[in-house]
Structure 1
């Protein structure tokens, strides 16, 4: 199932969604350039979330060397930056497609500032959950998966009966269908398994599958929308 649009109409332009898509595409193009020069691995390891390194830096700063808080700050800075770094064509296309279909409607309802706040806070929070739950992971975690999950959670909470205009690819035939919005809640988690398609050449590999972090983002988005509705 490929989501195209929804049945909720509005004349407001989703400016923040435009900017988020543009920034993600620009950074991915930069990654492609780094990939050709062999520098992509250093870039991803610098700005991706590496739970083992982050936990080690925090432990060192708290118990042994207070000067190590500089390292902790650097590792925590990767939490928001990693949201804009992707490891494969399938990951960025899937994320940005969901961001466009669901994000523009959520932005129109929440407004630009609250929408951007939700995207960044939920993305950072999902990264923190992943650091805690996968504390020994030594490969970088990148991608906007947690932030997109929060947008999906907010959308389902506000528009559970919305219809999503989709196409169902069958071989070379594309069949247009209308899918209830809540079904995409399950499809979102299923499609994470395919995010390795079209992977970039990143030495050591990366982690695209963070169900704990994505679930945290989903709950954050739903809770945020519930508070706004009240």
Structure 2
């Protein structure tokens, strides 16, 4: 799996089907066919393109998505030309899969090659009521782009036991063993402190991509 750092800007001649960073906040896709992207992520395009709603891909996946709330609304872009994608000026990180899989927090998906296979799976050891612990697996050969709230860090889980806040973990190797670590006494100090501090625990050989935030917060209502 290749993961170019988000600040390595590819300003070379575009190649059909290629994902590249126009800048740290914007993805450039040289489209010659179709690609799956987050709804509303298109900020500009050059060429001939059509956009349509992308369903969940079968009754089973539709039910999983409905029951788990995993993922963001998606669209399919078809055509030829340059497509520019972004989401709330967040940072973008690219992965190139080579006949392999990656697990992604669905709400962080920006775009991926349309021929890649996806599924929704639950983190082992996390009950339904834990919230936010259903994630999307993407597999095959092709590009995946995720958006992160702040510049992310790539952690090598093989170096030491690795833990990450469930809202901050963006993507990780499917080869990793995942568990849930709860620290009740530290609930007021770790994470958002909503009663029980909980982290995902990763073991094995692989990586974990962690954003530098637990995600955008909803401002207090004013009247």
* Alignment TM class, shorter chain as reference: under 0.3
Relative to the length of structure 2, the TM-score reads: 0.27
Relative to the length of structure 1, the TM-score reads: 0.26
If each structure's helix is expressed as a fraction of its own residues, which one has the higher value? 1
If each structure's strand is expressed as a fraction of its own residues, which one has the higher value? 2
